[in-house]
Amino acid sequence: MKESEKKHGSELRGRGSEDKEDKELDLIRPENVFESLNCAIEGVIYAVKHQRHIRYFFAIAAAALLLSLTLNLPAIEFVLFSIAIVILLFAELVNTAIETTIDIVCGKRYHALARVAKDVSAGAVLISSIGVFIMSYVIFSKYLIDPISGGLRTGKAFAGHVAVVALLIVLIAVVASKAYFGKGSPLHGGMPSGHSAVAFSLWASVVLLTLNPIVTLLTFIMALMVSHSRLIGGVHTKFEVFLGALLGIGITSLIFYIFSVISK
């Protein structure tokens, strides 16, 4: 009799726990379309709050879309560019969902297949990023780069000279910045990263001189690898690397623009 009572009690407890889980699921499960929409929006907000890459992508997407409106892109180009941006953001959101799910299942334990899943989802984001870069170059180059290239073609014999001058000015700016902040040496550490500034200065020169998307992509990858090596070696912080890249691109583009105006 006691055994049957114990068995019956365990069954009741089991049913009680199942009822509790069902109630919790009912609380989580959206009841209508508006709650489903709210959950989707909360998911996007969570990703933006906790994933800095998504914040970067959203900021870049907003800036690019505003630029497209400023340049008054044709409808077909605007639609294609918008689709590319949406695919990139979609890939990043899916990547976040996969990483979160794996973290729930594996916790702090290492698992080879978990790493594969994370790497593959990150690879999807990378491929989407490359697609957006190519799309952006094809669409915006005729509005932004072609006017500069027109001036460069008028002084074609001096185009290489402009790249050298721009590189030298970038180096001077890096040394001056490190002297001002009083941190690091010309070739090691400090604000900003000299390697990143030089690498992206050369990349900007290649972009403006060749106007070739394949060469542009390859040199961009090389500039990224140079900058990433400074992070891996612990020589610079991410902000120092970013500031160096911004300095190299900004000064080089400005020198080429000034030369294009003078040559007209």
Among residues 31, 42, 77, 92, the one annotated as catalytic is: 92
> Can you read off the two tokens belonging to residue 250?
């900004």
Catalytic residue status for 31: no
Phi, psi for 188 (deg, rounded to 5): -150, 115
Picking from 240, 260, 256, 255, the residue whose alpha carbon sits closest to that of residue 169 is 255
CB proximity list for 82: less than 8 A, separation 6 or greater: 65
221-254-251-208 Cα dihedral, nearest 10 degrees: 20
CB proximity list for 237: less than 8 A, separation 6 or greater: 231
Are the C-beta atoms of residues 93 and 125 closer than 8 Å to each other?
no
Indicate which residues carry an active-site annotation.
92
